[in-house]
Structure 1
Amino acid sequence: EFTVPVAVLTDPSRLRSAECLIVATKTPGTRAALASLRHVQVGVAFSVQNGLIKDELLAEAFGAGQVLGALANTSGELLASGEVLFTRNVNLMLGELDGTASARAGLLAATLDSAGVRAGAVSGILSWEWSKFVAWLALIGLAVTTRAVTWRYLGDPDGAWVLVQMVREAAQVAQAAGIELTEEGAILPLRTLLSGSDSQALEAVREAGKAFAVNAPQHRMSALQDLEAGRRLEVHETFGDVVRRAKERGVRTPLLEAAYHLLAAIDRINSGSPPDDGR
């Protein structure tokens, strides 16, 4: 173990410049938080948040040329003591928003990797981001509505059916946006879920559930942790965002839209927020 002192600023006006700005907060309130940092001279910025809107918000604040896309396939848990457990360290991938590889992405990835966070630089980062996102949406939807550890709803036949349908709807939105999904960026066997038969897709989800039961039996999605702790959920910036993108492109996503409204209601009731909050 080792200890590293970290300078903390609570007044954003005191920050004048940052060689690299990493956004690692939950998505609610991101636009307002970045607005308070527009004066900062940023060398490069990226976000490890869930969803897709993060890249757009960073580009609005600092310019698209200062932004890298990022995919974080990692997990952690905030304990009641305030300690944070880093429970999954799969990879953190970085890349240019125009789809190219770059020296700066490679340098940042190498720096993170040498510090113990497995990282790499890739081309086509938006494909990686979308490939994680389409599966993440379904996992979050089931985690919040079932309030169960991950392996239980993956291994349930009806849970698996709902997950497959949600993944397929989200994938149609990606396709309409011109995004080619990849197995490499996915957190579930995406190729089988999208191209396989219904029975093959369901079996693939159940197999993923068996793997979680063996390797991470207590794994809970971050949204479930937030729900149980009484924290706000990432609903409008994720589910709301993909529903908006679907409508803009004329793609029907009835299950995702229903899940969006259901999760928004759960979030408001759980947090005691007024009916019009969060839109």
Structure 2
Amino acid sequence: MHPTTEPHTPPHPGRLRFAVMGAGAVGCYFGALLARAGHAVTLIGRPAHVQAIQARGLRLQTAAQDEHVAMGASTDAGAVAGADVVLLCVKSTDTEAAARQIQPHLAPGALVLTLQNGVDNDERVRAVLGPAQPVAAAVVYVATAMAGPGHVRHFGRGELVLAPSLIAERLVRELGAAGIPAQVSDNVRGALWSKLVINCAYNALSAIVQRPYGWLARQDGATEVIADLVAECLAVAQADGVRIAGDIHAAVRGIVQSMPGQRSSTAQDLARGRPTEIEHLNGYVVQRGKALGVATPVNHALLVLVRMAEAARTEV
């Protein structure tokens, strides 16, 4: 399939203006859909990525289409100025630093929406920005990857669950019109934990062996290890007063059916020599477990193994 460049629709008066701080795979995918729907969108990312987008637009490749979408792109955090909504899509390890970078440039009342792995990013952003700046968490369910500078690939899903905010209902309408299914939930913390459990079940394993979810599930003994990881996470969540809605065990099994060929973001980071988010995934469960008196030996083992894999990359 060859990419096509379609005329970009100018932003419609009255529509929300978006900035994406941390234009990786998640931010680029949602930014492209919003820009294609006529919203003003500015991606903020690395120089090579930004240069490619400025030159020819962002290449959005899905199972159904392959096109270039024109939008703004910058390497400067100051490009969030004037945005109604800032999608914070940086790695969890960079949350506070990114919040400090955008703070001087945020419009009064602009919503900072955290689209990140982990369960406490909104709290960490709020601690930096203060109570006057609206901050809300979102749970992201999407399989994407960067295939090169200015090129994002979509492999599956693409929905969001949003915490309540003053513009949450409007956001749901605007996102839906852009082809992004979204809903508001008063239990986003539980939804974030549900995703955390899934990430803890698969991310580290996928990273250590550099294999996708479907391959993992077929290996002898993997089901038992995954069950132990999930049980530890649920014990910590219960001790922490978290209400996880729905059948989490079915959700854990379902990820293999919905994304069998997907390698985890932790696996992708490790393969590219980038810092992983393991401290905010299995590491967070271990940390909260210690604080709450809940043993997490399997999560701890995988945390240490990923740390070792990261350390081994730096050795000559």
The TM tier, using the shorter chain, reads: 0.7 to 0.9
Structure 1, gaps ≥5 residues long: 97-101, 194-204, 275-279
The code of the aligned residue for 1:183 comes to G
The answer to whether 1:189 aligns with 2:238 is no
Q: Is the Cα contact below 8 Å between 2:204 and 2:267 reproduced in 1? A: no
Q: Offset of 1:273 from its aligned partner?
A: 7.7
| 1:76-134 deviation per Cα after TM superposition (whole angstroms, max 9, x unaligned) | 011146411022224211013xxxxx552121122112111221212211111111111
Q: Offset of 1:160 from its aligned partner?
A: 1.1
- Pick from 70, 75, 78: which aligns with 1:10? 75
- Pick from 176, 184, 187: which aligns with 1:121? 184
Q: Which residue of 2 aligns with 1:174?
A: 237
The answer to whether 1:85 aligns with 2:153 is yes
Per the alignment, do residues 156 and 223 of structure 1 end up closer, same or farther by CA in structure 2, a change over 3 Å counting? same
| 1:255-275 deviation per Cα after TM superposition (whole angstroms, max 9, x unaligned) | 1122112111212223x289x
Within-5 A mapping of 1:86-235: 86-96=154-164, 104-183=167-246, 186=248, 189=250, 205=253, 209=256, 211=257, 216-235=259-278
Q: Offset of 1:72 from its aligned partner?
A: 0.4
Q: Is the Cα contact below 8 Å between 2:199 and 2:281 reproduced in 1? A: no
Per the alignment, do residues 15 and 111 of structure 1 end up closer, same or farther by CA in structure 2, a change over 3 Å counting? closer
Q: Offset of 1:25 from its aligned partner?
A: 2.1
- Count of residue pairs the alignment pairs up: 248
Q: Is the Cα contact below 8 Å between 1:246 and 1:252 reproduced in 2? A: yes
Find the residue that maps to 2:278 and give its secondary structure.
coil
Q: Is the Cα contact below 8 Å between 1:24 and 1:48 reproduced in 2? A: yes
Instruction: Work out the CA distance in 2 between the residues paired with 1:112 and 1:14.
Output: 21
Q: Which residue of 1 aligns with 2:40?
A: none
Q: Which residue of 2 aligns with 1:54?
A: 121
Q: Which residue of 2 aligns with 1:43?
A: 110
The code of the aligned residue for 2:86 comes to L
Instruction: Work out the CA distance in 2 between the residues paired with 1:132 and 1:63.
Output: 27
What TM-score comes out, normalization by structure 2 length?
0.71
Q: What percentage of residue pairs aligned between the two structures are identical?
A: 25
Instruction: Work out the CA distance in 1 between the residues paired with 2:180 and 2:230.
Output: 28
Per the alignment, do residues 165 and 18 of structure 1 end up closer, same or farther by CA in structure 2, a change over 3 Å counting? same
| 1:41-93 deviation per Cα after TM superposition (whole angstroms, max 9, x unaligned) | 35211111111121112211233561222110111011146411022224211
Instruction: Work out the CA distance in 1 between the residues paired with 2:149 and 2:117.
Output: 25
Instruction: Work out the CA distance in 2 between the residues paired with 1:109 and 1:241.
Output: 30
Q: Is the Cα contact below 8 Å between 1:93 and 1:109 reproduced in 2? A: no
Instruction: Work out the CA distance in 2 between the residues paired with 1:232 and 1:70.
Output: 23
| 1:167-207 deviation per Cα after TM superposition (whole angstroms, max 9, x unaligned) | 110111111111111227x5x515xx8xxxxxxxxxxx4x8
Q: Is the Cα contact below 8 Å between 2:118 and 2:196 reproduced in 1? A: yes
Instruction: Work out the CA distance in 2 between the residues paired with 1:49 and 1:208.
Output: 18
Structure 2, gaps ≥5 residues long: 9-68
Q: Is the Cα contact below 8 Å between 1:142 and 1:163 reproduced in 2? A: no
Find the residue that maps to 1:28 and give its secondary structure.
helix
Q: Is the Cα contact below 8 Å between 2:85 and 2:112 reproduced in 1? A: yes
The answer to whether 1:251 aligns with 2:314 is no
Q: Which residue of 2 aligns with 1:267?
A: 310
RMSD value, Cα:
2.5
Higher share in strand:
2
Find the residue that maps to 2:279 and give its secondary structure.
coil
What TM-score comes out, normalization by structure 1 length?
0.79
Find the residue that maps to 2:280 and give its secondary structure.
coil
Q: Is the Cα contact below 8 Å between 1:93 and 1:119 reproduced in 2? A: yes
Find the residue that maps to 2:295 and give its secondary structure.
coil
Q: Offset of 1:143 from its aligned partner?
A: 0.5
